[in-house]
Structure formats: C-alpha cells, structure tokens
Amino acid sequence: MAPVQTAHHRILLKLSGEALMGDDAYGINHATIQRIVGEIAEVTRLGVELAVVIGGGNIFRGVAGGSVGMDRATADYMGMLATVMNALALADTMNKAGLTARVMSAIAIEQVVEPYVRPKALQYLEEGKVVVFAAGTGNPFFTTDTAAALRGAEIGADVVLKATKVDGVYTADPKKDPTATRYHRISFDEAMARNLGIMDATAFALCRDQKLPIKVFSIFKAGALRRVVLGEDEGTLVHV
C-alpha cells in the first residue's frame, strides 16, 4: 500500500498536563490518556516522526495549595518533576499500545529517565520512536510552552502542534460570545497585535524568529490530530 501523503514529516506536539485529567480534579485519567495515545498511534502509522512536550499542571494542581508563598524557583522545579511523572505515564501507555517511546529529561534523573541529548533525540525520531521531552527547559521561570518552541526548533520540526481544549484561535471567547469565529490562519504579527495569547511571549517570539509555525487545535476532538497532520482545515495555523 502506498504511504499516505502528510502535510508534516516531523512534528512537536505540546500537551498540557490538564489534557490528561479527563473529568477528574487532578491526576491522570486512564481512559483519557489511552484515547490520546490512540490518536498519537494513528499519526505515527502515517510515517510521521513525533515528539511530545508535556506540562505538569494536572499533577502539580494536587499540591498547589501547599505551594502558596513558596519561592518561585522552588515551585517551578516541583512543576518540572510533575512533567516527568506525566511523561513516564504517557510513555508507559504508548509502549503498552505497541509504540516505542523514550522519555528524555532536561534535568538529570538518570535512575528514572535518560537526559536530553539532541543527537540521541534525533536518532530516536529517525528510528520511528516517539520522544517525550520532560522537565521543560530545565530552568525555572520558563514554561513548557517555551520548552515546546525550543525543542521544536532543535529537532527541526515542521510545526508545533499546541493541543488545547478549544478547536482553534477565535476572534473572542466562543463560550462567552456566540458570534466569535475561528481564524483558519493568522500571522504571528497579527496575533501579537490582537493580543490573542496563543503561547507565552517567550515561546511565541522564539517560534516567530525561527519561522516555526504553530497549529492550535483541540485534543478532545476525535481525529483532530490526524486531520491536522494531513493538512486538513482543522484548528488555526499561526505563521510568519
């Protein structure tokens, strides 16, 4: 059978920790993570090389009450550890689903996961493995959005896919304004001028400088990830 023609060969998928919660208050919902992995498996079968950056909000939410008044850097390091927990859970679910996943951490926890080394990450991707980047950039004060932009640029991704709860970027909050319409595509400059808040400023500026497009779509919409990879009209494309 001839390979499916995809719009992107190598992608960086940015998943929030909250995407793993399902309807739970915090933590990891088993059915939700299995569904997300099913969507990822479908895309890898198309021959696409896939890396993932995952947040830690779902884990950190469970301890956030105790972090009130805590030093910001300390709280950020706790958040990094939460992303490692999510990455391990995601990789384990992938491996059980027949994928081969590797977790690489920006902070050294070598008894648990291997450290992030760019040439090794590229080798894994070329071998068809899914690489899950954990611990953000390894630095406090930088979000996992910035980690996604940074890792996406480093691995030469064609696009950063920002998976959210909303199926794209709208002219207004669609929950509050029924007349809000979805942008099919929008330039970085226009998005900044309209203050749309697609990613944090550091991540957004890095993607713009590296001419790395961002696609915003809903991970909760069945088949959306596949449609994005195939280049169909799904979500919002942010471009130079």
Q: Which residues are annotated as a binding site for ATP?
A: 14-17, 57, 61, 164, 170, 173
Residues in the chain: 240
**Binding-site sequence positions:** 14-17, 56-57, 61, 76, 137-144, 164, 170, 173
Mark the binding-site residues for UMP, compressed into ranges. 56, 76, 137-144
What counts of helices (H) and strands (E) characterise the chain?
A: 8, 9
What lies within 8 Å, CB to CB, of 138 at 6+ separation is 80, 105, 106, 107, 116
Residue 158: other Cβ atoms inside 10 A:
19
Distance CA 99, CA 97 (A): 6
Pairing type for strands 185-187 and 236-239 reads: parallel
Helix, coil or strand: residue 164: strand
CA atoms within 13 A of residue 193's CA, in its CB half-sphere = 5
Element (H, E) at 103: strand 101-105
Nearest to residue 60, comparing CAs of 85, 41, 37?
Answer: 85
Q: How many CA atoms lie within 13 A of 235 on its CB side?
A: 31
